[in-house]
Structure 1
């Protein structure tokens, strides 16, 4: 991989954080920053990139406990996601942290960037990073504050209105289209302060176009002509062409803070103690990989108490379980602490494999994306296996022979129905999106795949149906009540069962 982590000196992070709020909520994001005579632009940019993937608060609560359990990557006996129960703290975590940290950081940075050609590339990169955060937010909750978000810096808007998801999606596509075109290799960028691509403009352009694929495909059921238009446009402009283009953010092992992995650091530090974690791999996930002899299983999973990562030994916990069968949680599979759950495990934010699966789905729909669905599917599966080398060599990588055996034994269903083909594509995407529960949750709602058996638990809030969204941060009832009420009147009650605009 070419994405090598640029070591972040503490002084750079501290200087950036002096102008970035660490609290959540609009009151922080919409407060004018203190007068800055010499803002640390590059350090602010570095911190914005780190915040794009969230921190421990939203990833532990919104991702690990909610989204990843809803889609049955993981399971817990009393997990809010496994049982579709409601926790205001967990459900609102992404909302509060995204506005209070990630978007706050980006809006502050854009407020101090001079409007000059020399700052143009950094400004376009900020627009692209905003799309990552806003798409995750609107996909999780539905209508959200968008156009007025951040206007406390120059517009004195401290209670931003909620915008419709349709309007938000239209603007997300516009932002990516314009920002990608405006990136210019002949202008300065951020040097090594850019952790993503070390200021390689060509790769940033591919990132903008590849993210456009993800955004556009989300509209496939609610506005297929627009989805097709922008998928084809993104492909024509140029998307990821190998794993070297994948957006991988490297991390450090410690001390705990912004430099550590926002998922694994909290999990290992607080919960995982010789296999004593309450969150385990879901039986759904383990059973699928075992039944297909998937070579990735040894890299993903391990019985932490014994160190056994052999695929045959892995055991997942059913999402409807009331107790650990046999009474010993240490007999169940944990994420592998030698690979994907290392303290310094990298984060796979957007991958070449995901791009290939999106193009495979587009080809199934006969959209103009060059290759065939089988070509893109095969490429995606191979890339998804090969990318696991980013997690180190303590477990053997998937070999070419193993890939060939897998793809030969379970080939793409070229003669199948459109639904069968898409199910196969999305199931592979679901495997790939381990640790990105938010994206897997969105793709499940969009497609209905993979087929999951719902949980009907007395703690649940959905009468035994899989949730369609998370409930807003309830602080909005105090800080932004009029706009919150207007949003739920338009969208529907603030419940897990209320469908958002593109979820048809």
Structure 2
């Protein structure tokens, strides 16, 4: 693994140009006579995979401080997400970094790879990674540059138009459908340069279909017929079938930067400080796991100052807290540095458990996904507990006996209303989406679950309304003004309370 990471540094300077707007950098690369003419495409592919997970900048600001605090997985007395306050830097982090690193890397790679049968699998994998990035972008902000993004490499477009979210979603589904079908085990791939699945085409196909399942379900309110069509198609084509299929990106313990976990490295390096962190687990999260005797709590949390991971000792910070009660930060729960907050902790980008919860919701709606909601729900809970073994063995794994006790005590509400069943499913998904605040934020807006108590703080921008989106990178007013203004005229004012297309 370390050797594979080392290879990427020869292209990182060229392939990871940091942009604050989606058009910056493309023009320079298009005209630069010293730009790559014989690129190490496999190394570029590796770096693209790493960038799909994001880097420290967007994960610290957009994920930990904003999205994960809005959905009350974490909390901070001065956190912009906890209080719904506006920070231009934090709000814009995902926008700038995604266009400037992840998408830039993919567009550059696609611009230099010939569309031949030998390169087909690499091209299809790039399309799948592009969907990951664009879905996160459009779900976070609404309309974004899509069809013209990246055309600075081969189209001379440096101020790309914003596209409607409906048009983006239609194309995301098309891209996944086509890419999954076109992947061919009989054609070359990239060998060990593939950090995700080591060029196992069958698993990439499952990834494309599982992501299609996620994308399709996002349309459940705004276009339920289309959501059902593509959920059923994804299931029929073949989604994740075990934790072995889960998309897990491994990391190294150092040096800090591209190789380390983009969430944990910044947290441990800058904020944790022996339990003196300002960001703690939310009371909402800790109380739910404590009150249900959830065996995952000992793996997720501990008091960093003492190393105590006893569930009974854990205490979450309320999201409306203006200071630490009692004045001692060390009494409040941190992510466990022996497991989930290790420097080299792997990233769970998409899990089999999430897929099972998506299928459970589809079954509740009566869609044809080949199983019962209860079976999918129970499989999802068990998978969510089992997947935690990726974080090492310093804390005992959840045993089958513990799972059996948990599921017997809190069984699926098979006799409940549709709303009660979906609330139960999404609440479990909210737990497994820990550290994936952007996805948890999207699922909260789509479903309204888990039930959160809004925070009405004087520093907030929403007067106590839980945000529905983040505000665009304001550099767009300088670099792409006409297209930015056209987008907000269609979508609504560039505010945290403006609802995006599928959030109706």
Distance (whole Å) between structure 2 residues aligned to residue 462 and residue 342 of structure 1:
35
Match for 2:8 among 12, 16, 30? Answer: 12
Using the TM superposition, give the Cα deviation of residue 32 of structure 1 relative to its aligned residue in structure 2, in angstroms. Answer: 2.9
Distance (whole Å) between structure 2 residues aligned to residue 263 and residue 151 of structure 1:
31
Distance (whole Å) between structure 2 residues aligned to residue 342 and residue 14 of structure 1:
27
- Asked if the contact 2:66/2:91 (under 8 Å) is kept, the reply is yes
The number of equivalent residue pairs is 500
Distance (whole Å) between structure 1 residues aligned to residue 12 and residue 184 of structure 2:
25
Distance (whole Å) between structure 1 residues aligned to residue 407 and residue 107 of structure 2:
45
Using the TM superposition, give the Cα deviation of residue 115 of structure 1 relative to its aligned residue in structure 2, in angstroms. Answer: 1.6
- Asked if the contact 1:29/1:99 (under 8 Å) is kept, the reply is no
Q: Deviations over 1:219-259 (max 9, x none)?
A: 00000000000000000000000000000000000001111
Q: What residue number does 1:28 align with?
A: 25
- Give the unaligned 5+ runs of structure 2: none
Q: What residue number does 2:489 align with?
A: 489
Distance (whole Å) between structure 2 residues aligned to residue 36 and residue 30 of structure 1:
14
Distance change in 2, residues 1:246/1:30 (3 Å): farther
Q: Deviations over 1:62-103 (max 9, x none)?
A: 000000000000000010000000000000000000000000
Using the TM superposition, give the Cα deviation of residue 28 of structure 1 relative to its aligned residue in structure 2, in angstroms. Answer: 1.6
Matches within 5 A, 1:66-85: 66-85=66-85
Q: What residue number does 1:362 align with?
A: 362
TM-score, normalised with respect to structure 2:
0.98
- Give the unaligned 5+ runs of structure 1: none
Q: What residue number does 2:261 align with?
A: 261
Using the TM superposition, give the Cα deviation of residue 36 of structure 1 relative to its aligned residue in structure 2, in angstroms. Answer: 2.4
Q: What residue number does 1:411 align with?
A: 411
Matches within 5 A, 1:68-107: 68-107=68-107
Distance (whole Å) between structure 1 residues aligned to residue 399 and residue 3 of structure 2:
31
Aligned CA RMSD, in angstroms, stands at 0.9
Q: Deviations over 1:28-50 (max 9, x none)?
A: 24543543232010000000000
- Asked if the contact 1:29/1:103 (under 8 Å) is kept, the reply is no
Using the TM superposition, give the Cα deviation of residue 18 of structure 1 relative to its aligned residue in structure 2, in angstroms. Answer: 2.7
Distance change in 2, residues 1:6/1:216 (3 Å): farther
Using the TM superposition, give the Cα deviation of residue 264 of structure 1 relative to its aligned residue in structure 2, in angstroms. Answer: 0.2
Q: What residue number does 2:137 align with?
A: 137
Q: Deviations over 1:342-365 (max 9, x none)?
A: 000000000000000000000000
Using the TM superposition, give the Cα deviation of residue 11 of structure 1 relative to its aligned residue in structure 2, in angstroms. Answer: 4.2
- Asked if the contact 1:250/1:347 (under 8 Å) is kept, the reply is yes
Using the TM superposition, give the Cα deviation of residue 9 of structure 1 relative to its aligned residue in structure 2, in angstroms. Answer: 4.3
Q: What residue number does 1:178 align with?
A: 178
Distance (whole Å) between structure 2 residues aligned to residue 260 and residue 14 of structure 1:
18
SS at match of 1:138: helix
- Asked if the contact 2:377/2:412 (under 8 Å) is kept, the reply is yes
Distance change in 2, residues 1:326/1:221 (3 Å): same
Distance (whole Å) between structure 2 residues aligned to residue 50 and residue 30 of structure 1:
24
SS at match of 2:330: helix
Q: What residue number does 2:63 align with?
A: 63
Using the TM superposition, give the Cα deviation of residue 396 of structure 1 relative to its aligned residue in structure 2, in angstroms. Answer: 0.2
